[in-house]
A and B are shown apart, each in its own frame.
Chain A
Amino acid sequence: MAYVAVKGGTRAIEASLLLWRRERKAQAGRPAALIDQVMAEASLYAPDIAELAVAQADGSPEEAVFLLRAFRSTVPRLHTTRVIDPSDLWVERRISAAFKDIPGGQLLGATSDYSHRLIEFDDERFNEVEAQLAALARNLGPQDGAGTYPKVVDYLRQLDLLPTLLLDTSAPGDVTKKSLEFPAKRSERLQILARGQTGTVTALGYASLRGYGALHPTVGELRVGRLPVTVADPLSDGDPEDDHFLGEIRVTEVEMLVPVELPRGEGRTDLQFDLGYGLCYGRNETKAIAMALLDQVLSAAAEGQGPGGPLADEEFVLLHVDSVEATGFISHLKLPHYVTFQSKLESVRASRKSP
């Protein structure tokens, strides 16, 4: 499926659609995208338990997230994993909207991006998929394309179009262990966005794109794939050879390129690219892109840059994107408010009686 965007694109898209159909068939009705969304919003990578939660919630994402979060509160947190380097991602899909021909090539993987959204009233067409894929496989190996790839942003750094930053090795904050204080650290912002409600993060990301934040951003690279998770052996001297492999997590990673102005003095400005980063559990590309947009706006605002506006107010963004908090507080309005209403009623009457 490696393809160059001009030539061979049609075949790559056809192959991608076939793969996508086959994945859907293999899922056999399992709502994979919903399970991914629920795991991300719950901050708990547990596909089997998330599937149980989705079923128990009759498919309601807010209910399923709620179930999984409550379960998460009962699980002791014994270890912190080794730092996971996303460049180790075992890539199933990677695209760049910035360059046609990126080092390693574009890899569409299975995607519905190019499908027509027509309800399929019969699933007859599933049966054709296998035959077509078999024909395709005669030309391509089944694993063809999957693997690790160089990153587009590294290429831009080589060209000096993106600033090379020092690696920040400070321990990240954990908003589930300590309540958020402002100004928030970037690690905390990213964590809150990564577990934010998909619809809310998308809506705010959209607002940033429409006029309240980063204008004209570009998807530098979007990747979907699997990352290995390891913990250090508590008895070892820290030798990575002694690490324990826990398994893999599937993630979506996005690096957005946002043009920003860089003051050069004497009233002149240079243009440079700024990076927005998005990463969430499972496959949820829209959310990861929106997250990257918001990351860039909030990071710029933290340094006193950017256009301002509601999205640059980190309290406004970070305190309102959580599914459990938002749905819980809104739904509590259904609870009896007899005492509070009685008290207010009395105030209303008192104000009318007063001269």
Chain B
Amino acid sequence: MKSLYNYAFFDEGSKREIRRAILKSVCIPGYQTPFASREMPIARGWGTGGLQITLSLIGRADTLKVIDQGADESVNAVSIKKLVRSTTGVTTTDRTAEATLIQSRHRIPEAPLREDQVLVLQVPIPEPLRAIEPSELATKRLHAEADYTGAWLMLFEELQRYGAYTTGSDHPVLVGGRYVMAPSPIPRFDNPKMDHSRALILLGAGREKKIYAVPPFTRVASLAFGDRPFRVEGFEGKACRLCGATGVFLDELPQDGGALYQCNDTGYCLERLNAGTPHA
């Protein structure tokens, strides 16, 4: 059955079309390049945008890491790795440093990335203005005119109503001073990692048929008002119960009589444990 499929699943024409969109995305940072978006063996909304990018990039020399909400062993990460491995035979890894390609859903790894790595993020809703404008034609026009008053108004209303930014994940960013972009639902904690990232970041939205990019060394600023600075999720006074890490994004584990915390990035946590630095 396997031999019926081409290397990296797609026929070559499908890959070429995705590759052309990737190149244009790199040349226009933060702009959502439309692409045909072929159907995949995994469901729309389960990472097909990221997966299409990964499959059109990947070659024999690559080592792939896939994480889902921080975890290498999450059901969907395992499923995506299995599909890529079975159609390409590439090596997969949990170690961020070993990977040439990293596909991720909703996290940027804690370990710093390098110029020779590419981070591929899965995007459910690529349009940062969708919450305020349901029409695709209208949002394309707003981007064309760099009219982002709606995005600012949304943040202003959050401050008015709740006294704080309540965007949660997917807090909008301004890329290269031109395009307002949805960073995908990464926590606000990860937004600063996009700014002048050393690795190319490619974002793929399969269902919405858009690819966009943050090239390395590109200014990425989280939208915020001057007197109400952008704030990442705080885990003050908390540390990972396993490896003792602080200053990382922590998962909250509800317990009787209070919560426990541990690293959300399981690969990072495991490497610290193996290096013998628990409870630092």
Residues of A whose CB lies within 8 Å of any CB of B are: 66, 69-70, 72-77, 176-183, 315, 319, 324-325, 327-332, 335-340, 342-348, 350-351, 354-355
> How many angstroms between the C-alpha atoms of A73 and B6 in the bound complex?
11
Partner of B233, one of A181, A315, A325, A343: A343
Residues of chain B contacted by A327 (CB below 8 angstroms): 43-44
Given A335-B68, A343-B188, check contact A315 B44 (CB 8 Å). no
Do A332 and B69 have beta carbons less than 8 Å apart?
no
- The reply to whether A339 and B69 form a contact with Cβ atoms under 8 Å apart is yes
Smallest CB gap from B171: residue in A = A343
Q: Which of A73, A335, A354 contacts B40 (CB 8 A)?
A: A73
Number of A-B contacts (CB under 8 A): 148
Please tell me if the beta carbons of B162 and A179 are within 8 angstroms of each other in the complex: no
Out of A329, A338, A346, which one reaches B207, CB within 8 Å? A329
Contact B163 A351 (CB under 8 A): yes
- Other CB < 8 Å A-B pairs besides A74-B4, A343-B233, A345-B252, 17 of them? A73-B11, A77-B13, A179-B210, A182-B136, A315-B136, A315-B137, A328-B44, A328-B46, A332-B44, A332-B45, A335-B105, A338-B69, A339-B69, A342-B251, A343-B185, A351-B162, A351-B164
From B10, B185, B189, B252, A74 is in contact (CB under 8 Å) with: B10
- In whole angstroms, how far apart are the Cα atoms of A30 and B44 in the complex? 29
Chain A residues with CB below 8 A from B41, complex form: 70
User: Any chain A CB within 8 A of the CB of B37?
Assistant: yes
B11 touches A347 (CB 8 A): no
Query: CA of A262 to CA of B152 in the docked complex: distance in angstroms?
Result: 45
The CA-CA distance from A34 to B79 in the complex, in Å, is 29
In the complex, A239 Cα to B177 Cα: how many Å?
56
* Chain B residues near A69 (CB-CB < 8 A): 39
17 examples of A-B residue contacts, CB within 8 angstroms:
A70-B40, A73-B40, A74-B14, A179-B210, A182-B137, A324-B44, A330-B45, A332-B43, A335-B68, A335-B75, A338-B70, A339-B106, A339-B249, A340-B187, A343-B169, A346-B233, A347-B164
Chain A residue contacts of B136, Cβ below 8 A: 182, 315, 319
**What are the 9 closest A-B residue pairs judged by CB atoms, nearest first?**
A328-B44, A354-B163, A332-B45, A351-B162, A69-B39, A179-B209, A328-B43, A73-B38, A329-B45
Q: What residues of B have a CB within 8 angstroms of the CB of A355 in the complex?
A: 163
A160 to B270, CA, bound (A): 78
Residues on A with C-beta less than 8 A from B29 are: none
CA distance A104 to B164 in the complex (A): 73
B264 CB within 8 Å of chain A: yes
- Closest beta carbon of chain B to A307's beta carbon, Å: 19
Q: How far is the CB of B220 from the nearest CB of chain A, in Å?
A: 18
> In the docked arrangement, what's the CA distance between A125 and B52, Å?
52
Q: Are B43 and A66 in contact (CB under 8 A)?
A: yes
Q: Does B124 sit at the interface, judged by CB under 8 A?
A: yes
- Distance between Cα atoms of A335 and B210 in the complex (Å): 21
Instruction: State whether B12 touches A76 (Cβ < 8 A).
Output: yes
Q: Is B166 among interface residues, defined by CB-CB distance under 8 A?
A: yes
- When the two chains form their complex, are residues A338 and B137 in contact, meaning their CB atoms are under 8 A apart? no
**A332, A339, A348, A351: the one within 8 Å of B70 (CB):** A339
User: Does B17 sit within 8 A of A, measured CB to CB?
Assistant: yes
B163 nearest in chain A by CB position: A354
Q: Assuming the A-B contacts A329-B45, A336-B74, are A74 and B5 also in contact, with contact meaning beta carbons closer than 8 angstroms in the complex?
A: yes
